[in-house]
Amino acid sequence: MLGRTFLFTFLLIVTAAAASAKPAELKIAVEPAGSAYRVSVTFAGDADGSTNILLPNEWGGQQELFRAIRNLSVSKGTTLADSDKPFVKTLTHQPGQKITVTYEISQDFQGPLTNAVRYRPVTDAIYIHWIGNAVWVLPEWDEQTDNDISIEWKGFAKSWTVANSFGTSRRKQKFQAKLSELLSAIFVAGDFRITTTKAKANDVNIAIRGKWQFTDAELAEMIRKVIDTERDFFGDHTQKYYLVTLVQTDEGPKALSFGGTGLTDSFALFATPNATVSRLRGLLAHEYAHNWIPGRLGRMPEPEQDLYWFSEGFTDFYTYKLLRSGSLITAAEYAEAYNERIREYYLLPVRNEPNDRIVKDFWTDRNVQRLPYLRGFLFATNLDADIRNASEGTASLDNAIRELFATSKTPLSFESLTAIFSKYLGVDITSAIRLHLRDGATIVPQPYALGPDFTQRITEMPVFELGFDFDKFAKDRVVADLDPNSSAYAAGLRNGQKRNGGVSLAFGDTTKEVELKVKDDEGEKTIKFLPIARTRLEIPQYQLKQ
C-alpha cells in the first residue's frame, strides 16, 4: 500500500515537470510532388527511444483517412514498424533523436467534391483543401499541450494563395498551438481569392474559389457583420484572427446544398453554386454562435443529446435574435424565419416525443434530429418574452446567458438551467421545463413574443390524411379501417372494396389527388380525392404590423 502511494506521488512530480518544460518543436514542410504533395514533419523523438506516430484515420464521419497517405518513410537512424492498427506506426531511435517523417498526400477519391467526401483531402493541380485531421502524420504527443510549430509551403506556384487557421498569405508560418488545434484546422491553397476585413481590430479573412451568385465582397461583409454582432453580444472580442473558406460541392443539377464545420479560428464552408448569401448567413450565424453556446457557458452532460434543446435550440434562437438586432435581416425576414420553424415544428410527426427519444434516436431518425432545434428555439422564444414581461423590460434571456458565460464553470444540466432561468424569471420554472422539454408537450409561441412590432394570427394548414389502412390496401388488397369522416369516404371508398390495379399517391402531399382503382359488387371504380383531414391544423404565424 505504502509503495503504491509513493509511486503515485513520484509520477505526479514527473508529469508536473514535463508540463512546465518549454514547448516541443514541430516543423512541417509541404511541397508539390507531381500529382501529390510531399510533407515532411520534423520533431525530437521520445526520451525512451520509441515514439508512436499517428496517421489520419477517422474524422467527421470519414473512415480510413490514411488511404490518402502514401510513401511514408523516416530519416536515417530511425526504424519504422507497423502496429496492429494501420494508422499507428512505431519509430525506434536514439533517445531524444531528431526525426523527420516524410510522406505524400494523394487524393483518394475520384470525380468532383461532393458532400460524401468533402472532408477528405483534395490534392488538385489548381487547389488544395485540407482539414488537419485528414492530412497530418504526427507524433503521439499530448494533444492539449502547446507546441512551437512552423509550417513552410515550399515550391508552390507564385500565383497560388495560401490560407489556413494560422494565417493568410504567408508561405512560412510560425505559431504556438496544441496538436488538437493543428488537427482541427483548415488549410487551403491555390486559386482561392482572399478578402481581408476587420471586426473591430481583429482580422476576418475569407478564402473563396469558383463562381457564385454573389460577389466576394458581399459574402465577406456579411461574414464580418455576423461575427462582429455575435462578439458584441457576448462582449468577447478575444479572437484575433478568423478565416472562412468556401468551396463548391457538386450534388447534381438543381440540387441546393450548403454546410460547414467550425474549426480552429476558422469555418470551412461547402455549398453548391446556387447557394445564396442569405442561406449561408443563417448557417454561419448558427455555427459561429456555437463558439459560445454551449462550450463557453458550461460543460455539456453525457450523453449530450439530453441538452440538445439548449445547445442547438437556444443557438438557433440567438442566431435569429442577433441577426435581427444587428440589422443583418429585415423584420419581415425575421418573421419568416419564425414562421418556417413554427410550421416545421407543428407538422413534425415526432413533435410530442419526450426528450428521452432525442437521446435515443438523434443520430438515426431525421425527424427526431430536428426536434431539439425546433423545441429549444420556441422554448427560448417564450422564455425570453416571459423574462422581459416579468422584469417590465429590464431583463431578458440575454441576462441569463451572459451570466452563464461569465461564470462558465457550471456543468450544464436540466437542473442548473432551470435554476438560472427561474432566477431571472422570478418564479420557479421547473414544471414548465418538465412539461415541454422533458415530456414533449407542444410549445405554443406567445402572440407578443417577438415584441410590439409583430402580431400573431392563426392560420389553418391542411393535414395529410389517407383515411384508411394503406398497408392492408397495399398488401392484402382490401379497403379496411376506413374513417367515415374522411375525404376518401366522401369520394366513395368503402370498407371491403378490393384493390383493382395501381395506386397513385404522394405521401404527405395534400395538393396531389390520390387515385385508387377498386372493385366491389357494383363493379370496377376509380376513386379520386385530396388526402386532407377534416380538422385542419391551427398554426400560429407572425406578421409585421402595418
Minimum distance from residue 293 beta carbon to Zn ion (Å): 9
Task: Choose between 306 and 312: whose C-beta lies nearer to Zn ion.
Answer: 312
Residue position matching grid coordinates 504527443? 141
Task: Choose between 228 and 312: whose C-beta lies nearer to Zn ion.
Answer: 312
One-letter amino acid for residue 211 of the chain: K
One-letter amino acid for residue 120 of the chain: R
Number of residues that bind Zn ion (CB under 5 A): 1
Task: Choose between 41 and 285: whose C-beta lies nearer to Zn ion.
Answer: 285
Minimum distance from residue 275 beta carbon to Zn ion (Å): 18
Task: Choose between 104 and 312: whose C-beta lies nearer to Zn ion.
Answer: 312
Minimum distance from residue 414 beta carbon to Zn ion (Å): 19
* DSSP collapsed to 3 states, 271-290: ECCCCCHHHHHHHHHHHHHC
One-letter amino acid for residue 392 of the chain: E
End-to-end Cα spacing for the chain: 79
Nearest to 263 by CA among 325, 182, 371, 190: 182
Task: Choose between 373 and 424: whose C-beta lies nearer to Zn ion.
Answer: 373
- Within 27-66, which residues bind Zn ion (CB under 5 A)? none
Minimum distance from residue 412 beta carbon to Zn ion (Å): 15
Supply 113's cell numbers: 467534391
Minimum distance from residue 63 beta carbon to Zn ion (Å): 23
Contact 357, 350 (CB under 8 A): yes
Helix, strand, coil percent values for the chain (each to nearest 5): 35, 30, 40
Task: Choose between 312 and 384: whose C-beta lies nearer to Zn ion.
Answer: 312
Q: What is the DSSP string of 112-146?
A: S--GGGTTSPEE-SSEEEEEHHHH--EE---TTSE
Residue position matching grid coordinates 484575433? 240
In the bound state, the residue with its beta carbon closest to Zn ion is 312
CB-based contacts of 371, cutoff 8 Å, min separation 6: 348, 350, 351, 353, 357, 358
Minimum distance from residue 286 beta carbon to Zn ion (Å): 5
What is the distance between the alpha carbons of residues 178 and 175, in angstroms, rounded to a whole number? Answer: 10
Minimum distance from residue 345 beta carbon to Zn ion (Å): 17
Supply 518's cell numbers: 377498386
Nearest to 488 by CA among 450, 532, 445: 532
Minimum distance from residue 420 beta carbon to Zn ion (Å): 21
Task: Choose between 314 and 424: whose C-beta lies nearer to Zn ion.
Answer: 314
Task: Choose between 187 and 308: whose C-beta lies nearer to Zn ion.
Answer: 308
| Pair type for strands 172-178 and 146-153 | antiparallel
Contact 240, 202 (CB under 8 A): yes
Minimum distance from residue 294 beta carbon to Zn ion (Å): 10
One-letter amino acid for residue 328 of the chain: L
Contact 99, 45 (CB under 8 A): yes
Task: Choose between 230 and 312: whose C-beta lies nearer to Zn ion.
Answer: 312
CB-based contacts of 302, cutoff 8 Å, min separation 6: none
| Pair type for strands 514-520 and 172-178 | unpaired
- Within 276-335, which residues bind Zn ion (CB under 5 A)? 312
SS3 64: coil
Minimum distance from residue 297 beta carbon to Zn ion (Å): 14
Task: Choose between 265 and 312: whose C-beta lies nearer to Zn ion.
Answer: 312
Residues in the site for Zn ion, rule: CB under 5 A? 312
